[in-house]
Amino acid sequence: MSRRAYEKIVTRDPNEKEFLQAVHEVFESVAPVMERNPEYRKAAILERIAEPERIITFRVPWMDDKGDIHVNRGFRVQMNSAIGPYKGGLRFHPSVTLSILKFLAFEQVFKNALTTLPMGGGKGGSDFDPKGKSDGEVMRFCQSFMLELQRHIDHNTDVPAGDIGVGSREIGYLFGIYKRIRNEFSGVLTGKSINWGGSLIRPEATGYGAVYFAAEMLASRNQTLEGKRCLISGSGNVAQYTAEKLMELGAAVLTFSDSSGYIYDEAGMTRDKLKHVMMLKNVKRARISEYIEKYPEAVYTPIDPTLDHNPMWNHKAECAFPSATQNEINLKDAENLLNNGVYVVSEGANMPTTPEGVYLFIDKKILYGPGKAANAGGVAVSGLEMSQNSMRIKWSRDEVNSKLKQIMKRIHRSCVEAAEEYGTRGNYVNGANIAAFVKVADAMLDQGLV
Ligand code: NDP
């Protein structure tokens, strides 16, 4: 690895733990690429690729229903525009920091390159917590947030989407106020509702894509998802549609979670059970613990912060789909997964496995699909939404779904090929990092020192 380039970043931002973690992984993977291509070193590609082109930080004041005033912090990290306008979601969650958004923006650059669509990378959000807020409060927050963000985004410059805490309700409020301020109806956000510029399959895309990626990995060993037992974390957008596609392909979905705990349903999910989860999480905005009120045969386990592992990852299964948040699988969890028979991990979430967990998965040669490849289906369909907006057309469900499937197949193939080219067969982490890095680095070389 290029120690010097990495150490410089550590010295500059020593406290940005998540960002450093993401950079370290990529720099480690691309070390042989740097060796083979001295022109990258000469052009200081590593130093430039890890420094955001622009970071915007702003105050977001808003008033709650009682008339009390609150102040949150808003961010947009415009990381890299070598291959297209900045593209990446907005996260509203109290844990949001600049380090988290820089890691997400950095990952996004490579993920977007893997899709082969013309999209640069960015990410943004706020430490605002939509949980427990009324619709009116969420709307006023979104309007205040966009009042500032609109100065920095545009359908040709930077196109945000949703992420944790930003779903169709928030995208609607953000779009509404953008349209009013700018007096234009444009494709400045993706994840829009289907009635006003959204794409079919966008809500499903990340989850479906993570399942397609798992299916591709299994196909490389002449296997399918049929009959496989699957553990899913989270119960939001990605988790729900991962579950839907897995069931469609004949797999058994055993778990869902949220930040309070998880449910284990040994009998497996059914369409009705999933519908109930969607109602609980999307309409009632309730906790996953309420699942057992309707399905008492399932078991709910609250999070125990004194444990050194998450018991959710300690059940017999073949596949795991972490779909909640970063670093949710530590070394102990990774060991538990392997000991319970899991040999397919397809990451719906971004960077859900700690580096020690990743090393273990690679060492044990399981089918491990890192987030930047496995969850790229979401941004891929966002890219398709942008195309439909520009062309003012609407593709059918089948058309979008088949394009998504093809994109996930291509991403899988480019990971496999890049890993093989650099002598690390079956290592999807190296494959994804190398394939994406070369694409972005070459574009940066072509465009000179900017
Ligand atoms: P949602 O807000 O819809 O759902 C997030 C889920 O994860 C909720 O169940 C939430 O529980 C849980 N969660 C969030 N933070 C934590 C935490 N700190 N500890 C435990 N559980 C947590 O978000 P998405 O489904 O959209 O996103 C999930 C993951 O997928 C994220 O890592 C995101 O970056 C990634 N991703 C999303 C894409 C998309 O298209 N939406 C695209 C690519 C990646 P609770 O309700 O308690 O907060």
The CATH number of the domain holding residue 115 is 3.40.50.10860
Confidence grade of residue 39 (pLDDT, cut at 50, 70, 90): very high
Assigned domain for 16 exists: yes
For ligand 1, atom 7, name the residue with the nearest CA: 324
Rounded CA-CA distance 139/114 in Å is 34
Cβ-in-10-Å burial (0-12, 13-18, 19+) of 358 comes to buried
Q: Are residues 134 and 221 in the same domain?
A: no
What is the length of the chain? Answer: 450
CATH number for the domain harbouring residue 227: 3.40.50.720
Instruction: Tell me how many degrees the CA angle 439-445-448 measures, rounded to the nearest 5.
Output: 140
Average pLDDT over residues 324-346: 98
pLDDT in tens, 367-378: 999 999 999 999
Would you state the pLDDT for residue 279?
98
DSSP 3-state of 22: helix
Assigned domain for 76 exists: yes
pLDDT in tens, 81-122: 999 999 999 999 999 999 999 999 999 999 999 999 999 999
Q: Examine the fold and report which residue of 340, 369, 398 is the final residue of a domain before the chain moves on.
A: 369
Would you state the pLDDT for residue 3?
87
Q: Are residues 271 and 165 in the same domain?
A: no
β-bridge partners, 60: 72
H or E element that contains 180 = helix 168-182
Would you state the pLDDT for residue 2?
78
Side-chain half-sphere of 279: how many Cα atoms within 13 Å? 9
For ligand 1, atom 17, name the residue with the nearest CA: 259
Confidence grade of residue 148 (pLDDT, cut at 50, 70, 90): very high
- Phi, psi torsion values for 61, nearest 5 degrees: -85, 140
Assigned domain for 383 exists: no
Ligand 1 mean position to 216 CA, how many Å?
A: 24
Q: Are residues 119 and 234 in the same domain?
A: no
The tally of domains found in the chain comes to 2
Nearest to 347 by CA among 327, 365, 364: 327
Assigned domain for 429 exists: no
pLDDT in tens, 133-147: 999 999 999 999 999
What's the mean pLDDT when you consider all of the chain?
97
Cβ-in-10-Å burial (0-12, 13-18, 19+) of 55 comes to middle
Q: Examine the fold and report which residue of 327, 346, 369 is the final residue of a domain before the chain moves on.
A: 369
Q: Are residues 240 and 361 in the same domain?
A: yes
Assigned domain for 327 exists: yes
Assigned domain for 335 exists: yes
- What number of other Cβ atoms are within 10 A of residue 33's Cβ? 19
Would you state the pLDDT for residue 5?
94
Between the CA of residue 47 and those of 23, 103, 255, what are the distances in Å?
11, 15, 41
Q: Are residues 124 and 173 in the same domain?
A: yes
Q: Are residues 138 and 249 in the same domain?
A: no
pLDDT in tens, 206-234: 999 999 999 999 999 999 999 999 999 99
pLDDT at 256 over 70: yes
For ligand 1, atom 3, name the residue with the nearest CA: 236
- Residues above pLDDT 70, as percent of the chain: 100
Assigned domain for 439 exists: no
Q: Are residues 262 and 361 in the same domain?
A: yes
Q: Examine the fold and report which residue of 349, 369, 389 is the final residue of a domain before the chain moves on.
A: 369
Q: Is 403 a residue of the active site?
A: no
β-bridge partners, 301: 262
Average pLDDT over residues 146-150: 98
Where do runs of H (alpha helix) occur along 279-423?
291-294, 331-339, 355-363, 371-374, 377-391, 397-421
pLDDT at 366 over 90: yes
Ligand 1 mean position to 417 CA, how many Å?
A: 30
The structure tokens 């899913």 sit at: 232
Would you state the pLDDT for residue 1?
65
Ligand 1 mean position to 413 CA, how many Å?
A: 27
Assigned domain for 128 exists: yes
- Residues above pLDDT 90, as percent of the chain: 99
Query: What pTM, to 2 d.p., does this model score?
Result: 0.97
- What number of other Cβ atoms are within 10 A of residue 438's Cβ? 18
Q: Are residues 88 and 236 in the same domain?
A: no
- Phi, psi torsion values for 176, nearest 5 degrees: -55, -45
Q: Any residues with Cβ below 6 Å from ligand 1, and which?
A: 95, 162-165, 167, 206, 234-239, 258-260, 323-325, 348-350, 375, 378
pLDDT in tens, 405-422: 999 999 999 999 999 999
Q: Are residues 77 and 8 in the same domain?
A: yes
Q: Are residues 178 and 210 in the same domain?
A: no
Show the domain range for 302: 205-369
User: Which of the following is catalytic: 123, 192, 281, 439?
Assistant: 123
- The residues, ordered by sequence, that sit 6+ positions from 62 with a Cβ below 8 Å of its Cβ are 69, 70, 72, 137, 140, 141, 144
Q: Are residues 32 and 162 in the same domain?
A: yes
Q: Are residues 171 and 210 in the same domain?
A: no
Nearest to 190 by CA among 208, 205, 211, 180: 205
